[in-house]
A and B are shown apart, each in its own frame.
Chain A
Amino acid sequence: AQKVTQAQTEISVVEKEDVTLDCVYETRDTTYYLFWYKQPPSGELVFLIRRNSFDEQNEISGRYSWNFQKSTSSFNFTITASQVVDSAVYFCALSAAGGFKTIFGAGTRLFVKA
């Protein structure tokens, strides 16, 4: 069975703080993809990043960085120097090569206060 767990339901930080959103996944497939999506208050989900299971390199994009560790089945997302515009619900998702579903975690709601 495939599963994505985002244990943090809500996180509240003050602007300029760094924040890490946790994502733990389960799958028996050796080939899979992991994603992060952002859902701002406007409601429309926006794709942020995709990693495949064979690429454990961490990635940095501006203030965003992602840490993929197969040993712990985790794909964590860090926002450095958070801004109010980062306030949103963030979803981690898993898609295995053999199936059709993309399994989403329950999401982490991030509040960034000015």
Chain B
Amino acid sequence: GAGVSQSPSNKVTEKGKDVELRCDPISGHTALYWYRQSLGQGLEFLIYFQGNSAPDKSGLPSDRFSAERTGGSVSTLTIQRTQQEDSAVYLCASSLDRALGHEQYFGPGTRLTVT
């Protein structure tokens, strides 16, 4: 069956430009997570969605970062006025239901390079 998909797989952008990263979770999964993984580092939590709402946005590093989820499915992470420190792999994950501590299924990630 289809897993979590993310697009684009790679994105190179100039400093100051805006970028949009897309995540398509597994069908039927109500919980969706965004993480950032810098080179050789662990996963940094960014934001979590339950359905279309985001009860926890505490991980977003600055107000240049925003995310939305529509129809309880696809999510978009937007980074405005990108900076070089935004360069990282952005991972999306989905799970069946957050409340029951379900495991997360991860997408392949979007590698963002800001030049």
A19 CB to closest chain B CB, in angstroms?
20
Q: A43-B109, A50-B103 are in contact. Are A91 and B43 (CB under 8 A)?
A: yes
A68 CB to closest chain B CB, in angstroms?
14
B interface footprint on A30-66 (CB within 8 Å = 1, 0 otherwise): 0001010100000111110010100000000000000
Q: How large is the interface on A (under 10, 10 to 19, 20 to 34, 35 or more residues)?
A: 20 to 34
A44 touches B55 (CB 8 A): no
- Which among A43, A97, A101, A107 is the interface contact of B56 at CB below 8 angstroms? A101
Closest residue of chain B to A106 (Cβ to Cβ) is B42
Additional pairs, 4, CB under 8 Å, beyond known A47-B103, A47-B105, A100-B98 = A44-B106, A104-B35, A104-B42, A105-B42
Which A56-100 residues have C-beta < 8 A from chain B? 91, 95, 97, 99-100
Closest residue of chain B to A31 (Cβ to Cβ) is B101
**Cα-based distance from A107 to B43 in the complex (angstroms):** 9
Closest residue of chain A to B93 (Cβ to Cβ) is A45
Residues of A within 8 A of B104 (CB): 45, 47, 102
Q: A52-B101, A100-B55, A101-B48 are in contact. Are A44 and B107 (CB under 8 A)?
A: yes
B interface, CB within 8 angstroms of A: 33, 35, 41-43, 45, 48, 50, 55-56, 58-59, 89, 91, 93, 98, 101-109
**Cα-based distance from A99 to B101 in the complex (angstroms):** 10
Closest residue of chain B to A99 (Cβ to Cβ) is B56
**Cα-based distance from A107 to B101 in the complex (angstroms):** 21
Closest residue of chain A to B106 (Cβ to Cβ) is A45
Residues of B within 8 A of A106 (CB): 41-42
Residues of B within 8 A of A52 (CB): 101
The 8 A-B pairs at the shortest CB distance, nearest first, are namely A33-B101, A100-B56, A45-B106, A106-B42, A47-B103, A104-B43, A100-B48, A101-B45
Residues of A within 8 A of B109 (CB): 43-44
**Cα-based distance from A33 to B105 in the complex (angstroms):** 16
- Which among B59, B91, B107 is the interface contact of A101 at CB below 8 angstroms? B59
